[in-house]
Amino acid sequence: MPVLSVLVVVPCGMRKIWDVDHGAGPTPARNAYVGAPFKVNRRYAEKFADRWVILSAKYGFIDPDFIIPENYDVTFKRPETQPVSLGELRRQIVEKGLNNFSKVVVLGGRDYVDVARRAFEGFEVTVVAPTFGLPIGKAMKRVRKAIQDSVPFDC
The three-class DSSP label of residue 76 is coil
Q: How many domains does the chain have?
A: 1
Q: Compute φ and ψ for 101, nearest 5 degrees.
A: -105, 145
Average pLDDT, the chain: 95
Asked whether residue 114 is assigned to any structural domain, the reply reads yes
Asked whether residue 25 is assigned to any structural domain, the reply reads yes
Q: Which amino acid is at 103?
A: K
What's the pLDDT at 154?
78
Q: Tell me the residue range of the domain where 145 lies.
A: 4-149
pLDDT, tens digit, 9 for 90 and up, residues 89-117: 999 999 999 999 999 999 999 999 999 99
Residues 31 and 76: beta-carbon distance below 8 Å: no
Q: Which helix (H) or strand (E) holds 62?
A: strand 60-62
Asked whether residue 52 is assigned to any structural domain, the reply reads yes
The number of C-alpha atoms within 13 Å of 9 and in the hemisphere containing its C-beta is 32
Residue 119 belongs to domain with CATH number: 3.40.50
Asked whether residue 155 is assigned to any structural domain, the reply reads no
Asked whether residue 82 is assigned to any structural domain, the reply reads yes
pLDDT at 11 over 70: yes
Asked whether residue 154 is assigned to any structural domain, the reply reads no
pLDDT, tens digit, 9 for 90 and up, residues 53-100: 999 999 999 999 999 999 999 999 999 999 999 999 999 999 999 999
